[in-house]
Amino acid sequence: MLQQSIEKKRAELLLKAKHYGFGAKETLTCSIELDELIIAYQENRLPGLRH
């Protein structure tokens, strides 16, 4: 499910931020991926949100 993917990506993001720093490419890429998962989750729960 998307919720599990979001939690997994959030944990990955925190690890990358600790290891590389918040401004590192690896961290920012992971953050964008998390954003996309959250948007997909919101669109699933609230159809028409972004339309």
Query: Which run of H or E residues covers position 22?
Result: none
- pLDDT tens over the chain, length 51 residues: 899 999 999 999 999 999 999 999 999 999 999 999 999 999 998 776 665
pTM for this structure? 0.86
Q: Classify residue 50: in a domain, yes or no.
A: no
In the prediction, which pLDDT does 37 show? Answer: 98
Residue 37 lies in a domain: yes
How many domains, in total, are found in the chain?
A: 1
> Residue 25: which domain range?
2-45
Q: Within a domain: residue 51?
A: no
Q: What is the pLDDT of residue 45?
A: 87
Residues 6+ apart with CB under 8 A from 2: 37, 40, 41, 44
Q: What's residue 20's pLDDT? A: 98
In this structure, is residue 9 part of a structural domain?
yes
Contact 33, 9 (CB under 8 A): yes
Tell me whether residue 19 is in a domain: yes
The per-residue pLDDT for 50 is 60
